[in-house]
Each structure stands twice: as structure tokens, then as C-alpha cells.
Structure 1
């Protein structure tokens, strides 16, 4: 026999914990993740597209620097996704208050929140799709993602300034009792925060292995595993995509332009003093892995062409087209002894997809600037 329910109003969904204390507790961690993601993202953009006045000042050491900072960028952005969802869940009743606008000040406040939410969702969604190299939009990812990053940072600072009195009141753990919030909600809030923490930990742990070699075995959901690829290294841009073929390399020569220009065949390059380095490839999509490279120091090639110790380099690829077909290398990179025109990878001749017959490998450098299929090297 079914129990008889007491008469009353129809049951409706009305979850608890949509309060300022919960929103602030989640917001602390979301703010930290966004701050790390923004700072490392700006650094990554500057390394990829350095302004002229900064090009010769960008450091080439530590050689693992870009691998660390961009790994943090992707990891913090990934961790921010469940944090943002939890934050929106905590505050969503206030997003649909009625009337929607009560005064001019209230209208400005709601507009700033709308910009903040839209920018955050856009940044995290497009950043996530970028790690999969999927671009279902008509605009260029890099400039738009960079611009909206600054918009997000500004909207976040404005939001913090407007909401600071509430944030201050709810920032500490003791605020639950001092602000007369329901004491019964305490255990549920702890469970909620524990669940959010577990979600962030799971998402991070199962994706960060694409850049942290030690966590490779638990790299379950990352878009790319550095363990899989030709010659022990993944390939983002193939020779077919760059329209480089064996036929186009039949008469390949390296041209080195400068006060004393010269050209070299592949056999002549191999006859020059060879150097071996262990350097990581750190891709802008988030994966990275160290490899053993051997070839000729770029500074030696520049010096032979008449370049001094302060000379920069311009590298031109055989690629038919592409945003990074021509790459400028600042003085500290060009003169670093670790910067090579590499001919071999992990003890074997470069495969065509890895840039045969010659490619650039340099320390503390985004992967898109490690130019493949090098045809021309210029003293600048």
C-alpha cells in the first residue's frame, strides 16, 4: 500500500547552497586558475609573436621554460572548466532575477557580469577545442583568443571591485557562522566543495600527462599522447599538409644569406661539426616531450655568413604557405649553443613529417617556431 502524501503545494526543484558563501569559496579557486591561465597565456603569446623591441631580450634559458609555462597554461585552463560550471551553478538564480534591471547602477553591474560570463565561457571553450586542433569558427584563433583574454581579465577585475564587500564578508571559513547563514548547510557545502575539488583533480590528473612525462600512464583523456608518433615524437603539421614532397626536395640546398652568402648540400651539412642536445618540443596545443637532436649550431652557420655575435636570424621554410613559414629568431636564441639546425632525431635521420632534410630546434621556444623543412637561413 502506497503512503499518502500530505496535501500541499506541488514539489519544485529548489536546491540550496546558491549563496554568497558557496560562490566565494568556489570563486577563490576559479580566480586562481584564471590568473595562472592568463599570465602564462600572455607569456606564450609574447614568445610566439614578440614585439620588435622585445625580440632580442627574450631569454633562451631555462631551456625547459616554455614547456613548464605552457603546460601550466593548458592545465589551469582545463581545471577552470569544472570550477566555472560550479561557480555558475552557485550563482545562477541571481542571473535570472526579476525585474532584470532595477536602476542604472544595477544595469551596469549586470552588463559587466554578462561580459564576464560570456568571455569566460568563450575562452575556456575555444581553448579546449584548440587542444584538439578543431577550429569550427571563421576567425583566427590566436589573435581572438588573446584579445578576449584581456577582455576577461578586465571584466574579472571590474567584477571583483564591484563585489568586493560581499567577497570580503564571505572569504574566510568563519564567515558561515558570523553572517547567520544556515548552519545546516555547512556539511552539504563541504560535500559540494569536496566534489568540485575531486572533479578538478580528476580532470587535471587525466590530461596533464600530455606535458608531464611522469603522469603519462594516467593520461586518459588528453587530446594527444606524447608517447605516440614517428621517431618517438608526435607530429602536428605533416609534410602533406605543408605540401612538401620528396620530389620538391630533389635539388634541395640550404641557402645562408649574409655579408658572405653561401649554399650547402645535405652532404656538406653532414660533413660539418655535429652537436647533440636534448631539448623538448612544447606544442601550443599543450603536449610536450623531450628528444635527442643532432645537427649544426645556428650561430656557426651565421658566423660563416658574416654574422657577428649580436646577429639575429630569419628562417624560411619550404612550406608553400602557413602563418609560421617565415620565422624570426632573436639574438639570444640565434646565439645560444643549444640552438641547432637539426638533421637527426633520436639517432635517426629526420623523417619527412619531422622536417627532413633540416629543421630548427631551440630552447625555451614554442613548437610552432621550431621551423621544419628549412630552405633558407638569413643573417639579420
Structure 2
């Protein structure tokens, strides 16, 4: 069985302060530690992205898929609305103030199925102290790679047909 988020306060088992808050339109909002994220199935991605200051970067990232972690948190899809999950947005915030926005369709296996990671290692080096990094292998530019993620909010509020 895959790990699932809990609503209990997380305690760092490795002495690091990194915590990730999952909130929004979720049945099971959570506060997760990097140690808890290590229990999820690990996926790998070889990524090349352009950085404005240092040119093209090549890295290997590993960690759980964002889709798996958020699915376990129970997004509030309306089963009566056809394709309701397509209106959901995912806002990711880093401790350094950087933000990124994704649509649910980008990470959903029934649609784009992008292998978006909550990376726990980069080039074999652990990110335990800094916290997970959002990695979008499909992005040519690394602007949505967010380091030290501290919050992810799922929002199903966008419904132009309401």
C-alpha cells in the first residue's frame, strides 16, 4: 500500500526542519516531513533545462511523483461533474518566496501525465535539510523548479460554468 498523508503534526526524524503543508480542496490535508516523503515510491528524471544565468543545466532528480502524493490527500473532485478534475489548480510555494502554478491535467495520467517530482535528491545528493524540490522534466526552462517547497495548495475553485 502506498503511503498516505496524515493530519497529525509531523516530527522530523532526521533532525531537519523541512515540512511540507498540503492544503486546499483536499479530504486529507497534511503536514509532511522529508522523511515521510522518502516512504513513497521513488521515481527518477534526467532533466536538462535552461537557466538564465548559467546556461543549460543537466541533473538527475529522484523522489515521489506529485500526482501520487496529492491523490492520496484526496482532491475534492465532484464525481457528478464530467472531467471535474480539469478545473483544479496546484499552487506550489518555496521557503525562498518562489511560486509555481500547475493544472491538475498536467500531472494526471489520464491527460498529460507529466512526471512531476517532489525531488528528494539531486545528482545523488539528499535535499533533506532544504526540503523537496518541484521538478518538471517537461519544462525547457527551469523557472517552475521550486526549491525548498514548504506548501502546496490544491484549488478547485476555478469553474467558469458555475
TM-score after normalising by structure 1: 0.30
CA distance in 1, matches of 2:115, 2:145: 13
- Supply the RMSD in Å over aligned alpha carbons: 2.3
Do 1:315 and 1:328's aligned partners in 2 also have CA atoms closer than 8 Å? Answer: yes
- Distance of aligned partners of 1:334 and 1:313 in 2 relative to their CA distance in 1, 3 Å threshold: farther
Q: 2:19 aligns with which of 253, 277, 292?
A: 253
CA distance in 2, matches of 1:270, 1:351: 10
- Distance of aligned partners of 1:261 and 1:286 in 2 relative to their CA distance in 1, 3 Å threshold: same
Aligned 1:1-380 pairs, distance under 5 A = 250-257=16-23, 258-259=25-26, 260-285=28-53, 287-307=55-75, 309-310=85-86, 311-319=88-96, 321=97, 325-335=98-108, 336-350=113-127, 356-365=130-139, 366-380=141-155
SS in 1 for 2:74: coil
**Cα deviation code 1:230-289 (max 9, x no counterpart):** xxxxxxxxxxxxxxxxxxx94321111132201111111111111111122322347113
CA distance in 1, matches of 2:69, 2:100: 16
- Which one has a bigger Cα radius of gyration? 1
Higher relative contact order (CA 8 A, sep 6+): 2
CA distance in 1, matches of 2:116, 2:93: 16
**Cα deviation code 1:183-236 (max 9, x no counterpart):** xxxxxxxxxxxxxxxxxxxxxxxxxxxxxxxxxxxxxxxxxxxxxxxxxxxxxx
**Cα deviation code 1:10-45 (max 9, x no counterpart):** xxxxxxxxxxxxxxxxxxxxxxxxxxxxxxxxxxxx
Which structure's residues are more often strand, by fraction? 2
SS in 1 for 2:58: strand
Gaps of 5+ in 2: 1-14, 78-84, 156-162
How many residue pairs match? The answer is 125
Cα drift, residue 312 of structure 1: 2.7
Gaps of 5+ in 1: 1-248
Do 1:358 and 1:373's aligned partners in 2 also have CA atoms closer than 8 Å? Answer: yes
Cα drift, residue 376 of structure 1: 0.6
Of 369-378 and 280-289, deviating more is 280-289
CA distance in 1, matches of 2:72, 2:153: 11
- Distance of aligned partners of 1:251 and 1:350 in 2 relative to their CA distance in 1, 3 Å threshold: closer
TM-score after normalising by structure 2: 0.66
Which structure's residues are more often helix, by fraction? 1
